[in-house]
Amino acid sequence: MGLSLHVLASGSGGNASVVVDDATGKAAVIDCGICKRDFFARCDEAGIALDDIAGILITHEHTDHTKGLGVVLRGMGKLGLEPAVFVSERVHAQSSEVRALDAVADIRPFSDEGAIGLGGMLIHPFATSHDSVESFGFRIEGSGDDALGFMTDTGIVTDAAYAHLERCRILAIESNHDAKMLSEGPYPYPVKRRIASDGGHLSNAQSAELLERLLCNELEQVVGMHVSENNNTYRLPLDALAEIVARNDHAAKVQVAYQRMRISAE
């Protein structure tokens, strides 16, 4: 038994994922940018009991990662459930969605200088490079030597990110856009420049390059995350990541996460 990842939604329309430690049955939510109905329904589809959610981790303040936090927590509160919300001090100060919960939720600060113990898991935050006040990815360690790496919303891969994503059994890594589709697409030039910048999002090619560097004997599952519905297709990142696996004669399973459908990696 080890860790499992359930991506409830991923993309600019809203993000929410759940990591479960199968040994304890406890779960950690990463971001909450979808409505209560979808959050509850997709947790149920994945077999995740709401009372097993030990806490919610917030990567950064952009609303596609936070806009569902209040309604989900209020809905859980009506069931007598009060999971802690883990958020950095700078993100807390910047996010009106998080600050609105100060009087009713258990808000706990974190930084990339210490680990978070949650539901039997040890969670190591690391900084990412995004145009937010502060943003994070996570290395999550479960029972035994099991490890899961989670990183979206970054324009480059920092040395710290590489170090935290090494030797993971499950990797969830951003594969946001196809460079050609972005360049020729309908977005205004300043938006295109932002997405492709060091503070934007990883392209399919950057994600594939990252995966090739992180291939290891422990790796079993790869999930392409935060796929753009305007500057990408779901097929392109799948093919780019699968090509790296095939070229290196590796056995890892590759899939992509969707905006409106849950996927799981176990």
State both tokens at 22: 């199968």
Helix (H) or strand (E) holding 263: strand 263-265
Name residues whose C-beta falls within 8 Å of residue 261's C-beta, 6 or more positions apart in sequence: none
Backbone angles phi, psi at 32, to 5 degrees: -150, 80
How many Cα atoms sit within 13 Å of 11 on the Cβ side? 19
Q: How far is CA 126 from CA 44, 110, 142, in A?
A: 30, 11, 17
- Report the C-alpha gap between 111 and 188 in whole angstroms: 34
Over residues 107-112, mean pLDDT: 96
Determine contact, residues 120/28, Cβ cutoff 8 Å: no
Cβ atoms 83, 54 nearer than 8 A? yes
Edge-first strand order for the sheet with 170-174 is: 116-118, 121-127, 136-141, 147-151, 170-174, 221-225, 253-256
Distance CA 63, CA 31 (A): 10
What percent of the chain is predicted at pLDDT more than 90? 98
Q: Residue 182 in 3-state DSSP?
A: helix
pLDDT digits (tens, 9 = 90+) for 159-202: 999 999 999 999 999 999 999 999 999 999 999 999 999 999 99
**In the predicted model, what is the mean pLDDT of the chain?**
97
185 burial (CB, 10 Å; 0-12 / 13-18 / 19+) is: middle
Q: Name 29's bridge partners.
A: 18, 56
Q: How far apart are CA 28 and CA 108, in angstroms?
A: 14
The closest alpha carbon to 199, from 17, 62, 33, belongs to 62
DSSP state of 70: H
Cα–Cα distance for residue pair 118/122, rounded to 1 Å: 6
Q: State the CATH architecture for 3-265.
A: 4-Layer Sandwich (3.60)
pLDDT of residue 234: 98
Q: How confident is the model at residue 1 (pLDDT cuts 50, 70, 90)?
A: low
pLDDT at 215 over 90: yes
According to the model, what pLDDT value does residue 145 have? 86
Span 47-97, pLDDT tens digits: 999 999 999 999 999 999 999 999 999 999 999 999 999 999 999 999 999
pTM: 0.97
- Positive/negative CA dihedral, 156, 161, 163, 167: negative
